[in-house]
Amino acid sequence: MVIEVLMVVGVVLVALPALVIGSARLFHRSGRASTDQRTDRVELVLVVLGRLLGLVLLAALSGITLLSCIGALVQDVTVHSLVYVFFVADLLVAILVLLTVGRLDRRPRRRSTTPARR
């Protein structure tokens, strides 16, 4: 019972925020541009398609894990062993989404100059 609760907490604290952040930044561009417009479009389509595939996989794994764990808690039965595999895969995909899509693009700060000596 404790493991099912920990799995629900792990999905809620890691996978669901990764799903929200990933879906909010689905069409975000990196700022890189080439001279060929067609290459830019193909690259953007491939990046968005890869992100969308990862988010669909993340949503499916999170849904299956949450449904199985909450159902097992309510019915007081044991969880199938494949749910543990889904949970680990869900966490790995969530970390992948957070590391690729979820990072903030901060501009480098300008160094403060020291006043000249007079």
* Boundaries of every domain in the chain: 54-102
Q: What is the pLDDT of residues 70-95, one digit of tens each?
A: 999 999 899 999 999 999 999 999 99
What is the Cα Rg of the chain in Å?
21
- Helix, strand, coil % over all residues of the chain, rounded to 5: 70, 0, 30
Distance CA 21, CA 15 (A): 10
Distance CA 42, CA 6 (A): 41
Q: What is the pLDDT of residues 24-83, one digit of tens each?
A: 888 776 666 666 777 778 888 888 898 899 999 999 999 999 999 999 999 989 999 999
Task: Provide the whole-model pTM.
Answer: 0.77
In the numeric block, the tokens 């199985």 are attached to 68
